[in-house]
Amino acid sequence: MPARRLTDGRTVPEGYPHGPVAALAATAALDALTDPRAIVLVEGVSDQIAVDTLAQRLGAGDRGIAVVPVGGAQGLRRMLRTIRVDHPAVPLSGLYDIAEARVIRRALEEVGLLTPTDEIEVAGFFACVSDLEDELLRACGPELIEACLADNGDIIAFRKLQKQPEWRDRPIDAQLRRWMTSGARRKLRYARIFVDTIPLERMPQPLMAVLRRARQT
């Protein structure tokens, strides 16, 4: 499947505050919700972009599914408490990094969404092996990623990183991971590009699962 230019140069997709204002924007967005059908909680803005993009691709966009970044796993407890007060009947689901499983479990148990014997997926929360960015990189594979970089004007910058002595002999997946995280806005832009390019049969399972859960409500 050919890659497509989905962003304007090196700008972040419109409608997604990033940087220091992101956490405040997420809280404001939650306060502004009037009648959500479902709420999906994710760790950061790039995860929000990925879920929104897949929802649009599957025809589920703008159907009352609110995707809210919590500002990292440690922010989940605060967000859950707010939601249980303001939207007690709204179904919840979410994504998290497997390394944060204990933090996620504790937060879900505190608000009564999980018992100590339940698997976390019972509450509709699905784990990424490392993080969602890593899931997307693996789902794309190097060939498709390089096609995306070329189509969006970034392949030369990536080739420069590959030539650096400390990265020259590293595996390409490590090089790609480093390149994606070395620019503050890259993972935000490419969250949309990758999700809109990956064949659906290769889409990361946690991403598909969380949206499937939200759409079932």
pLDDT of residue 3: 42
Instruction: pLDDT band for 86, please (50, 70, 90 cuts).
Output: confident
pTM comes to: 0.85
The yes-or-no verdict on residue 121 having pLDDT over 80 is: yes
pLDDT of residue 153: 94
Rg, Å, the chain Cα set:
18
At 134, the amino acid letter reads D
3-state secondary structure of 213: helix
Where is average pLDDT lowest: 52-61, 142-151, 170-179? 52-61
- Starting at the edge strand found earlier in the chain, the sheet holding 92-97 runs 65-69, 38-42, 92-97, 125-128
pLDDT of residue 109: 96
Domain chopping of the chain, boundaries: 1-217
pLDDT of residue 2: 42
**pLDDT tens-digit profile of 162-186?**
999 999 999 999 999 999 888 768 8
Distance CA(121)–CA(124), nearest Å, equals 5
The yes-or-no verdict on residue 13 having pLDDT over 80 is: no
pLDDT of residue 166: 95
Instruction: pLDDT band for 55, please (50, 70, 90 cuts).
Output: very high
pLDDT of residue 24: 56
76 vs 63, more confident: 76
| Residues 6+ away with beta carbon under 8 Å from 169 | none
